[in-house]
Structure 1
Amino acid sequence: MTRLFATDGGTAMTALQTLQPLIDTVQGCLVLSSPDDGRIVSANQLASILLACPHDELLDRSMYDFLPHPADADAIRQDLDAHSMIYNRGMQLRTVNGRHFDVQLSVRKVSLNDAAMLVFSFSDRTEAKVMSQLLDYERQLVQRSLNIVKTLKEEGSQSQDEDRLTGVAGMHRMMAAAHAETSRVLRYGGTLSILALVLVNAPDMVPREDDGSAYNHLLRLAASLCLQSIRDSDLVARRDDNTLIVLLPSTDMNGASELARRLITSLRQLTFLYQGEEHQAAACVGLSELRPDEAGPKPMLERLEYALQKAQEGGANYIIRLP
């Protein structure tokens, strides 16, 4: 068993408090738990995000609660008894909301001030899949853009129904869909939400220097990430100010908020090169929802604009809801 902290008369809890800044800087999810019942005694914020559980509530749970099947916990215990360590095993975890996701999991027994503990570390394999899909989609978009350029005049205006740069819908199509979905809600009931996402650290667009390539590249990645995250019934569009709008039929504010959190978390995994330096992508999001007494989408869109303005004032990773 590996010793994490030298015995000097202090308690294991004191040692954990000392180690917490180090735990928070680990690149990946890290959870320390009791070997008997799996009760979590420490974790970093990334673990809290992927398990969809607030950090304070996470400390009241067992790590085994996040395994889809009771047999998984028994298998981990047996393997640790036999080998003292599990390394980079492909398996599934489950969020508090019941969503399953693939991870690479490592577990090891350690001693912290003579108290035995288990250290769980894991990474979300779906991120690698998303990045691969984003790169494939990026190549498709580049080819698609080249084909469009060949067939359109240089001075031609952007299509009202489709955005040439990103491949998402234009605002003409978005507004038509918003009116149609509002009519559907009025006729049959249900919910309708809308999301606006803005990149907050996008590079300056300087056409004479780089033709805006870094800016356009990041915008295409953000648009493709939105497309990868929505259902067939949803619609993504780009506005003239490069705001990405996502129309979400049959979705309430809680569902829209969950999508916003997923998009911001995924965007933070993206990096881009600008003027020889690597930068991390970041965004803020405004949300709104159609109210039962509204006969058209205009009030919802006005609230969306105000929510986005407040989110931009807050900065990176802000989500403002105005139902």
Structure 2
Amino acid sequence: MMPSSFSAVPLPSGNAGHPHDSLLPEHLQALLALSLTPEPSHERHVEAHLDAGCRLLGMTTAILGHAESSRYEIMAAVNPPAGREVGGECPLEETWCSSVIAQAACVAHRHISAEEDTRAHAAYSCMPFESYVAAPLWSEGRLTGTLCFGDETPRQQDFTASERALVETLATALGQLLDVQRAKERTRSELDNLRLAYQKMEGLFSHCSLPMALMDFHGHWTRMNPAFSRLLGMEPKELTCSALEDISHPQDMLTCRQALSAMRTGDISEYRQPHRYLGRHGQMIDVMLELKVIDSRAGIILSQHEDISERRAHEASLTKLRHQLETRSPAAGRLPGSTLDKLMPFELIEQQLDNEIARSARHGQPLCILILSVDDLEDYTREYGHVAGERPLQQVASILRNASRKSDLLCMREDNSLMAILTSTDASGAIILAERVRHAAAELSGLDRPITCSVGLTGYHPAPDTMRLANRLELMDRAQQALKKAQRQGCNRVRFLDPDPVMPLDAGTLTTLPPKPAGTD
């Protein structure tokens, strides 16, 4: 790599010492003037160096060239010969600069046609020079080209050490000018990219349907998007004059204050917890509050607020309904406390499925339908009796209930199959849950004989705010078809019908249960 100072420019063999030791006073004065005289542009600054070199060396032509592989490109020139204009390219071997690049050192010829070896060079027929001197150009730590001076007339004397040192020093200065210019171009490019990224982020922040806001480590709002203002029913000006604590439920602020303090000290960078806000009119707004430190030095936190009020109301309604089911009288022929008696009636599930489809469409959340059948249950009942035949169904229902979440809906159908509505669950999550239940059922003990289960699944994954809702009957029919497919293929397996699953359906070699789906209770 080339050091940044002029003093480290390589000198030709036989010219020992410091380059500046050989420079004449007029050379030094010219170089000082170049460094002190402001130029309107980078191009003009380069041209001033070439002009100065021509004047001090008594040469008519100056060329600054870039060498890449076997090509030579002219970047700047003063009085270039025909065919060697700025921007032009030619094979490197057709230039005198090929020797400079090969030797990585200064090369000079006072009378080219008088030298037998130079007359044989390919450049002799392409370049009208009789005298020539050039030095390697170093840029960004590597040899990237040459600075050369030429004239159509030969010189009476060889190029002096001072003249060689001048060319090398000019080449070093031009290399540094190129480095500065490229650094400026990179900086401009990076600034343009940052500006575009900021504009894109600004657009996403402003138009995002998810309520978001920026705050400091003390919980004071500094900026918010329109969705956050709509969530709270408050104007941005009102919010910027308040803090997180001013609009939060007092009980929720205890853990939130601790999280902000830990973020301030750098102990944590993220926080996620259910949170309650007080709206303009005193109404309670349930959100899932997520805080992320995006600039620890400036103390900037991005807060996201997923409205879960509807989900909380939905879960409360389901809890009330389950309580009613648990306290009702057991069906005839069943023992009190039977899991089957605690499942929702199929008629109610059908009605609720329409609501879940609409809610899934509003929020763009996936939904899956599961239908499970205990394999050969009729044969089991005929062999061991009705009471014994209900035990496998009860235990599988308990497994399914424990594997699902509070927001999932379960029922038993007239054909003794179990059906579940898996809310906010995609295909992979539904398959994992079904496989867990299938494996657990195969490992049940205390029954008259081992049992297996077949499971059919289907899914619905709408885009947010879609106007096209899934048909309840079609969804249940697809799940039923998936169950029949599992049974036709030998039972004791899981099948997913449209869309295609994102993981293998059969896991016959597994000896342990797969992990519980993320987000399950």
- After TM superposition, the score normalised by the length of structure 2 is 0.29
Highest CA radius of gyration, 1 or 2?
Answer: 2
TM-score by length of 1: 0.46
Higher relative contact order (CA 8 A, sep 6+): 1
Higher strand share: 1
